[in-house]
Amino acid sequence: MSSQNTSIHGEWSSRLAFIFAATGSAVGLGNIWKFPYITGENGGGAFVIVYLICVFMICMPVMMAEIMLGRRGRHSPVNTMRALAQETGRSRGWQVLGWMGVLAGLLILSYYSVIAGWALAYIPRLASGLFTTVNTLPPEEVNQFVSLKFSDLITDPIQLLGWHSIFIIATILMVAGGVQKGLERAVQVMMPALFIVLLILVFYAMTTDKFMTGLHFMFDVNFKQLFYPHCETTTNCQFSGQGVLSAMGQAFFSLSLGMGSIMVYGAYLPRHASIAQTTAVVVLADTVVAILAGLVIFPIVFSHGLAPAQGPGLVFNTLPIAFGQMPAGSLFGALFFLLLTLAAATSAISLLEPATAWLVETGKFNRPWAAITCGLVSWLIGLATVFSFNIWREVTPLAMFAKFEGKTLFDLLDFLTANVMLPLGGFFIAIFVAWLMNNQKVAEELDAATQDRSYRFWRFLLRYVTPVGIGLVFLNVIGVIS
């Protein structure tokens, strides 16, 4: 097999197009709210240092390996792994790795679309000035008002179904256009727009009187808080590695590894593009977006005397209060939720693409019908998430197990994909490339010599450091270690 082959789906027109696409796949809702929050809660700059080490020592080697697999195979993850297993004389069972990525993408998209629908719904809410009324309310009623507006959205299955459907349809339309006319055209518009909106919000945050407070919240180096959490509130100061495990987990999941997206995008990468250089740019851009998001969120939160909260509590309950109180808050609030929607959309198309590419390769579907079919499957699975917040909120299928007590269908989908399928995917990618593929052919695909120091260091990381790191994260999330 030669990497000179071209994909039947086409190629990115340039290295920059791939960088936009891969960065868009990596940048998602988690970058906007999760990274800033866990940074502040785990020692600020100390957490960032550990996170960056994990990114470059664990995640970047896996991303390079996944892109390399895609470009060498030039097919969907399923057929790429089938072909490369045959090339290396390994069992055809390795195609299960491709299937797992395709399935993970469809499952993640099913609930990702619902959450993205929340952000989409908040754009007109903020733009209409709905939350400016918080200025007229007594302080004790403000939180109740905003929480009620969010509750009105998620407890209404018709509203949720509508926004979920709109987002899935938009995703299908972008993927149906193909590599250059669909995926590439979409990311070339959305990624610059995302950065422009993000920078506008950063400049606004810099004008607030709490910008430096937000900066300190994220970046003050506090290794004591990282390794001895809650030590300031208790005399029982016990060492904990949970902060480091959180950094490793965030680094891995932030880059969309193990779900087939990066592999199928790599299949469309031109031969002349450097995998190592391209991966470095994508990793850097993903990290910069996460950091800039924190510089937007926390100065705004602190400027209005609000307590930072994690996840949807921060984005949908806390920030609307701040936007409702600030000058031109309707505009900046709408821009913020536009930013969330753009981040979600660039990730969504990468989640749908692996399954779509596989259906096209069967020869039974053209691209539009393949995209529609896969999108419809995700939409149907997404109904479980839609109803998990309302009519099925009491449905907890695995409640007989203590670990899953109280977990809805949405919670179970999230746990299965993020905590089981993705780390397993990344782990076996590392094993296949570093231990089973021909060393010479891997080096050729990376435009390196087997004796190059940089190549040998990358191979060492992929062989020994990365599997151990991913293994620790996996054992932590399933509760074996804590």
Rounded to a whole number, what is the largest CA-CA distance in the chain? 71
The pLDDT, as a whole number, for residue 419 is 79
Residues in the chain, total? 482
Quick one: which H or E segment has residue 427? helix 422-431
pLDDT of residue 309: 60
- Which residue blocks in 88-184 are alpha helix, DSSP H? 95-127, 139-154, 157-176
Sorted by sequence, the CB contacts under 8 Å of residue 444 that are 6+ apart come out as: 3
Closest by alpha carbon to 130, among 342, 335, 333, 301?
333
Q: Would you state the pLDDT for residue 272? A: 87
Burial of 328 (0-12, 13-18, 19+ CB in 10 A): exposed
Q: pTM for this structure? A: 0.92
Q: Where are the domains of the chain?
A: 15-477
Token pair of 27 as six digits: 């940048």
**Interacting residues of 74 by C-beta distance below 8 A, sequence separation 6+:** 3, 5, 6, 7, 80, 267
| Identity of the amino acid at 325 | Q
Fold (topology level) of 15-477: Amino acid/polyamine transporter I (1.20.1740)
The pLDDT assigned to 481 comes to 58
pLDDT tens for the chain, residues 1 to 482: 544 567 788 899 988 999 999 999 988 877 887 788 788 778 788 888 888 888 888 889 999 999 999 999 999 999 999 999 999 999 999 999 999 999 999 999 999 999 999 999 999 999 998 888 887 788 778 878 888 889 999 999 999 999 999 999 999 999 999 988 899 999 999 999 999 999 999 998 998 888 999 888 888 888 887 887 767 655 667 777 778 878 887 887 778 788 889 999 999 999 888 999 999 999 999 999 988 988 998 888 888 777 776 566 778 888 888 888 888 889 999 999 999 999 999 999 999 999 999 999 999 999 999 999 999 999 999 999 999 999 999 999 988 887 788 899 999 998 888 878 888 899 999 999 999 999 999 999 998 888 899 999 999 999 999 999 888 877 877 666 55
Residue 420 neighbours by CB distance under 10 Å: 15
Compute the distance between CA of residue 147 and CA of residue 165 in angstroms, rounded to an integer.
Answer: 24
The tokens for 468 are 């151990």
Tokens at 343, concatenated: 């981040």
Orientation of helix 185-206 relative to helix 329-361, angle to 10°? 150
Of the candidates 384, 340, 24, 361, the one whose C-alpha atom is nearest the C-alpha of residue 174 is 24
Residues 17/285, Cβ–Cβ less than 8 Å: no
Residue 158's CB is within 10 A of a number of other CB atoms, namely: 8
Task: Provide the CB-side half-sphere exposure for 119 (13 A, CA).
Answer: 26
* Token duo for residue 345: 């959309």
Adjacent-strand bridge partners of 44: 221
- Say how many Å lie between the first and final Cα of the chain, rounded: 44
What are the structure tokens assigned to 482, written together?
Answer: 């804590």
